[in-house]
Amino acid sequence: MNTSNKTDYMEDALLKPLGEVLQIIQSRLVTDSTYFGIQCLRSPMDFWIYQEIIFMLKPDVIVEVGNYCGGSALSLAHLCDQIGKGFVIGVDIDHSRLDQKAKNHPRISFITGDACEVFDEVVAKCGKAETVMVIEDSSHEYQNTLNVLMKYSQLVTVGSYLIVEDSICHHGLDVGPNPGPYEAIIDFIDSNQNFYIDREKEAFLITWNPKGYLKRGN
């Protein structure tokens, strides 16, 4: 017998405004979402897009800036397992909350420190990788996000992606810094002609990364 007190079921919520639906999903993401038992704050719809991109690119290296408990890094490593190649470099100023499963995965290396300050160490770990993608998911503050984009975009290879998480802040949900990632994306694109916003990656409509899938064209 289902004794759940949940009241927001899809068939009863068809007339809800999209903004309210996003709040319901956000509440679930923040409080209860896990990956292999590890708290993970990534939208499942965006994760589906991630696996499509990774299957298409088959990257040698995935750099994730902002790791929290390591759930998202582990999910990326599992995708690398499935394509039979690649490894994950996780960068965060604080790795004290990392789950042991993420620490133990052989395809993940963690570098602790300010992302811009440890950039040279990340470059060295990437070595001569032919295909590199980068995910920016750190503090979401405008200036920090822009600094990371300017720095880490140098690692992204032609045809690959620089993904900016949580540009939904104040552009779908009234949460997080304002200005934040969305504004940093706009300013980054305005100053960098090598990247363009690939809105085809938002085909599910609901995304936590509006304008956040940046593809390197040249």
pLDDT at 102: 99
pLDDT at 111: 99
Domains: count for the chain: 1
pLDDT at 1: 38
Is the model more confident about 75 or about 13? 75
Inside any domain, residue 10: no
Q: Which of 5-19, 72-86, 113-127, 145-159 has the lowest mean pLDDT?
A: 5-19
Structure confidence by residue, pLDDT tens digits, 141-171: 999 999 999 999 999 999 999 999 999 999 9
Structure confidence by residue, pLDDT tens digits, 85-117: 999 999 999 999 999 999 999 999 999 999 999
Show the domain range for 34.
16-216
pLDDT at 113: 99
**Tokens 């409080």, residue?**
31
pLDDT at 7: 58
pLDDT at 192: 96
**Closest to 80 measured CA to CA, from 108, 100, 42:** 108
Inside any domain, residue 1: no
Inside any domain, residue 4: no
Inside any domain, residue 57: yes
Inside any domain, residue 5: no
- Structure token digits, residue 25: 């999903």
Structure confidence by residue, pLDDT tens digits, 130-144: 999 999 999 999 999
pLDDT category at 6 given cuts 50, 70, 90 is low
List the CATH number of the domain containing 164: 3.40.50.150
Inside any domain, residue 9: no
Q: Which of 25-34, 66-75, 95-104, 191-200 has the lowest mean pLDDT?
A: 25-34
Inside any domain, residue 3: no
Mean pLDDT of the chain: 96
Q: What percent of the chain has pLDDT over 70?
A: 97
Inside any domain, residue 2: no
